[in-house]
């Protein structure tokens, strides 16, 4: 198992911090020539491949994945060829039908894997939660959104954990991967299991291991992306890592589920704050007549201490707009302020309104008015290469344009139709022509092009900052 080059060069403290992370070595290398564990928790690693009583664990024969969405389905497919049976459970019959029909939004590399896993019968799809009883390990990947007040909506997670706890039996390893607040694994899994007489680290093994999957990104595949795992006990960490070693070549054992839960929140909060800063910095550059992309790229030539992001029309998807609120909610309950994170979240959620404002300015500077203008939004999913519309800034952008009286169309080959919060239903324009619109707003550019026609529009507002086909474009 490869030890990953740690991104801890920050502040020159890598030498100090690295020994606190314990790389996991799967059973084949334990006791062999591989490097031994460091620090005071070595027993967790030397127990790899052993059960709580020190008996060798058998190779995985059956793993159940609960929740087959953007995370769960690729996770199930990554197990193909690595365990005998994969039970994919989803409460949505509709979702199961989409998967069977080969219509799930999957990366190119996963499409043939799905076909193969269904054809050879390794992947069993079901909505029957009783089917998980026969699994050696259960990986929970259900959604953890926020409600209208930005509080955690734990309905799916509570439901899934309760179903798993009810059916758990001695010898099983239960791994929670849904992003959530600190303490959830103990609250929803470890505690209720112990009440049933299934003690974590003894009869069952319970851990949290955040998912780092990046849908649509073919550069960071699961196998090459390191994971962290925090068990309720060291034996739980080891048992969970043994399962997860089927998915990734690099794993680090943490001291607790809470440490692993906090790790995921920190990663996504870091991203939210960085994106808010990138947007604010690009607005500052615009005010001062500097090209923000040139400055961002130039800063990126510094090999340490800078990790930038590109500005854009806002953030979307199931992670960055939601996850930081899990921590803010938890801190709020404890009366602990977190002004930087709060401001970052306010800032990124206000970004689509800034795009609407700029659209008005671009038209106004040309003697035209946003009210009554024909505006086409190019790309509406929240990021390139995926069809995911969840929390997409395009939703707020199109609603804001409609509120200002614009005639709004959109083009997105991955998203055939959109229903806005106000109930308006829009359908992607099949064969758009730039000359038909007063303004094109570039929101998401999918790989493979297909958006060059927009450069023929008389006015182009480029919220991606990279649509260089249109020399006459304005940026935010
Ligand atoms: N999407 C991402 O990019 C990403 C990346 C890393 C982590 N995550 C985290 O992973 C988790 C899952 O996210 P996702 O994007 O895959 O969600 P998703 O909405 O795409 O899929 C979740 C699936 O779980 C199913 N489900 C809901 N309740 C269930 C239950 N009780 N039993 C069985 N199935 C159930 C739903 O029908 C759905 O198909 C979230 O916590 C998210 O924050 C997501």
**3-state secondary structure labels for all residues of the chain:** CCCCCCCCCHHHCHHHHHHHCEECCCHHHCCCCCCCCCCCCHHHHHCCCECCCCCECCCCCEEEEECCCCCHHHHHHHCECCECEEEEECCCHHHHHHHHCCCCCCCCCHHHHHHHHHHCCCEEEECCHHHHHHCCEEEECCCCCECCCCCECCHHHHHHHHHHHHHCCCCCEEEECCCCCCCHHHHHHHHHHHHCCCCECCCEEEEECCCCCCCCCCCCCHHHCCEEEEECCHHHHHHHHHHHCCCCCCEEEECCHHHHHHHHHHHHHHHHHHHHHHHHHHHHHHHHCCCHHHHHHHHCCCCCCCCCCCCCCCCCCCCCCCHHHHHHHHHHHCCCCCHHHHHHHHHHHCHHHHHHHHHHHHHHCCCCCCCCCEEEEECCCCCCCCCCCCCCHHHHHHHHHHHCCCEEEEECCCCCEEECCCCCEEECCCCCCHHHCCEEEECCCCCCCCCHHHHHCCCEEECCCCCCCCCCCEEC
Nearest residue by C-alpha to atom 35 in ligand 1: 67
Token pair of 291, please?
């090209």
Task: Tell me whether residue 23 is in a domain.
Answer: yes
User: Are residues 356 and 331 located together in one domain of the fold?
Assistant: no
Distance, CA of 144 to CA of 27 (rounded, Å): 33
User: Are residues 340 and 437 located together in one domain of the fold?
Assistant: no
Q: Mark which of 255, 289, 313 sits at the end of a domain.
A: 255
Instruction: Find out whether the beta carbon of 213 lies less than 6 Å from any atom of ligand 1.
Output: yes
Pocket test for ligand 1, best of 142, 227, 385, 386 (most atoms within 8 A of CB): 142
User: Are residues 137 and 113 located together in one domain of the fold?
Assistant: yes
Name the least confident of 27-41, 224-238, 430-444. Answer: 27-41
pLDDT of res. 5: 54
Contacting residues for 298 by C-beta, under 8 A, at least 6 apart = none
What's the CA-to-centroid distance between 466 and ligand 1, angstroms? 31
Q: Mark which of 329, 348, 367 sits at the end of a domain.
A: 348
User: Are residues 134 and 229 located together in one domain of the fold?
Assistant: yes
Identify the domain containing residue 280 by its residue range.
266-348
User: Are residues 100 and 230 located together in one domain of the fold?
Assistant: yes
Task: Tell me whether residue 156 is in a domain.
Answer: yes
Task: Quick: pLDDT tens for 399-458.
Answer: 999 999 999 999 999 999 999 999 999 999 999 999 999 999 999 999 887 899 999 999
User: Are residues 443 and 464 located together in one domain of the fold?
Assistant: yes
Q: Looking at ligand 1, which atom is closest to the CA of residue 177?
A: 10
Query: Mean pLDDT throughout 171-200?
Result: 98
Q: Looking at ligand 1, which atom is closest to the CA of residue 95?
A: 39
Nearest residue by C-alpha to atom 11 in ligand 1: 178
pLDDT at 249 over 80: yes
User: Are residues 311 and 360 located together in one domain of the fold?
Assistant: no
Nearest residue by C-alpha to atom 21 in ligand 1: 69
What's the CA-to-centroid distance between 70 and ligand 1, angstroms? 6
Pairing of strands 205-208, 227-231: antiparallel
User: Are residues 385 and 470 located together in one domain of the fold?
Assistant: yes
Q: Looking at ligand 1, which atom is closest to the CA of residue 72?
A: 16
Q: Mark which of 255, 283, 298 sits at the end of a domain.
A: 255
Contacting residues for 415 by C-beta, under 8 A, at least 6 apart = 380, 381, 387, 389, 428
- Structural domain count, the chain: 3
pLDDT of res. 12: 57
pLDDT of res. 224: 86
Cβ 311 vs Cβ 276: under 8 Å: no
User: Are residues 111 and 129 located together in one domain of the fold?
Assistant: yes
Contacting residues for 149 by C-beta, under 8 A, at least 6 apart = none
Q: Looking at ligand 1, which atom is closest to the CA of residue 322?
A: 43
C-alpha torsion sign, points 24, 28, 30, 35: negative
Q: Domain holding 439: CATH number?
A: 3.40.50.720
pLDDT of res. 40: 31
User: Are residues 98 and 244 located together in one domain of the fold?
Assistant: yes
Q: Looking at ligand 1, which atom is closest to the CA of residue 159?
A: 31
Instruction: Find out whether the beta carbon of 159 lies less than 6 Å from any atom of ligand 1.
Output: yes
Task: Tell me whether residue 283 is in a domain.
Answer: yes
Residues catalogued as catalytic: 319
Q: Residues 100, 105, 108, CA angle at the centre, nearest 5°? A: 95
User: Are residues 294 and 196 located together in one domain of the fold?
Assistant: no
Q: Domain holding 327: CATH number?
A: 1.10.1040.10
What's the CA-to-centroid distance between 96 and ligand 1, angstroms? 13
pLDDT of res. 223: 85
pLDDT of res. 238: 95
pLDDT at 108 over 60: yes
Task: Quick: pLDDT tens for 35-53.
Answer: 333 333 323 333 334 444 4
What's the CA-to-centroid distance between 149 and ligand 1, angstroms? 20
What's the CA-to-centroid distance between 352 and ligand 1, angstroms? 25
Percentage of residues of the chain with pLDDT beyond 90: 75
Task: Tell me whether residue 102 is in a domain.
Answer: yes
Pocket test for ligand 1, best of 65, 66, 68, 70 (most atoms within 8 A of CB): 70
Q: Looking at ligand 1, which atom is closest to the CA of residue 323?
A: 43
Task: Tell me whether residue 4 is in a domain.
Answer: no
Contacting residues for 325 by C-beta, under 8 A, at least 6 apart = 146, 150, 151, 152, 345
What's the CA-to-centroid distance between 358 and ligand 1, angstroms? 35
Instruction: Find out whether the beta carbon of 391 lies less than 6 Å from any atom of ligand 1.
Output: no
Distance, CA of 286 to CA of 445 (rounded, Å): 22
Task: Tell me whether residue 419 is in a domain.
Answer: yes
Q: What is the mean pLDDT of the chain?
A: 88
Pocket test for ligand 1, best of 88, 141, 266, 272 (most atoms within 8 A of CB): 141
Task: Tell me whether residue 401 is in a domain.
Answer: yes
Task: Quick: pLDDT tens for 331-366.
Answer: 999 999 999 999 999 999 999 999 999 999 999 999
User: Are residues 106 and 146 located together in one domain of the fold?
Assistant: yes
Task: Tell me whether residue 28 is in a domain.
Answer: yes
What's the CA-to-centroid distance between 75 and ligand 1, angstroms? 11
Distance, CA of 343 to CA of 18 (rounded, Å): 32
């Amino acid at each position: 198992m490869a030890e990953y080059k740690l991104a801890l060069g920050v502040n020159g403290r890598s030498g100090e911090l690295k020994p606190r992370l314990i790389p996991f070595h799967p059973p084949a290398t334990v006791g062999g020539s591989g490097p031994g564990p460091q620090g005071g928790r070595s027993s967790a690693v030397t127990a790899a491949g052993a059960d709580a009583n020190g008996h060798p664990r058998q190779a995985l024969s059956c793993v159940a994945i609960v929740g087959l969405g953007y995370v769960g389905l690729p996770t199930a497919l990554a197990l193909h060829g690595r365990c005998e049976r994969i039970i994919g459970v989803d409460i949505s019959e509709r979702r199961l039908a989409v998967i069977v029909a080969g219509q799930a939004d999957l990366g190119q590399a996963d499409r043939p894997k799905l076909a193969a896993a269904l054809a050879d019968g390794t992947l069993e799809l079901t909505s029957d939660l009783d089917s998980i009883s026969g699994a050696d390990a259960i990986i929970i990947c259900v959604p953890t959104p926020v409600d209208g007040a930005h509080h955690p909506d734990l309905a799916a997670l509570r439901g899934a954990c309760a179903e798993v706890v009810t059916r758990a039996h001695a010898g099983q390893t239960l791994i929670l991967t849904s992003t959530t607040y600190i303490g959830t694994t103990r609250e929803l899994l470890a505690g209720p299991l112990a009440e049933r007489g299934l003690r974590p680290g003894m009869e069952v093994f319970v851990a949290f291991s955040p998912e780092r999957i990046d849908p649509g990104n073919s550069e960071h595949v699961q196998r090459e992306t390191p994971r962290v795992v925090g068990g309720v006990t060291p034996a739980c960490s080891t048992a969970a890592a043994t399962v997860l070693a089927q998915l990734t070549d690099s794993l680090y054992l943490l001291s607790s589920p809470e440490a692993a839960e906090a790790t995921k929140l920190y990663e996504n909060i870091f991203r939210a704050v960085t994106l808010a800063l990138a947007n604010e910095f690009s607005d500052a550059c615009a005010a001062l007549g500097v090209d923000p992309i040139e400055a961002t790229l130039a800063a990126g030539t510094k090999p340490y201490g800078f990790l930038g992001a590109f500005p854009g029309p806002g953030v979307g998807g199931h992670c960055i707009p939601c996850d930081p609120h899990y921590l803010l909610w938890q801190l709020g309950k404890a009366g602990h302020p977190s002004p930087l994170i709060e401001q970052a979240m306010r800032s990124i959620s206000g970004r689509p309104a800034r795009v609407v404002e700029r659209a008005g300015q671009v038209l106004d500077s040309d003697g035209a008015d946003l009210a009554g203008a024909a505006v086409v939004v190019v790309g509406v999913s929240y990021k390139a290469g995926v069809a995911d519309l969840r929390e997409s800034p395009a939703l707020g952008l199109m609603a804001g344009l409609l509120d200002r009286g614009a005639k709004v169309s959109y083009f997105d080959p991955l998203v055939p139709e959109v229903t806005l919060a106000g109930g308006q239903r829009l359908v992607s324009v099949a064969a758009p022509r730039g000359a038909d619109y007063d303004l094109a707003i570039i929101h998401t550019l999918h790989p493979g092009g297909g958006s060059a026609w927009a450069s023929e529009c008389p006015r182009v507002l480029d919220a991606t900052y990279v649509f260089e086909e249109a020399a006459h474009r304005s940026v935010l």
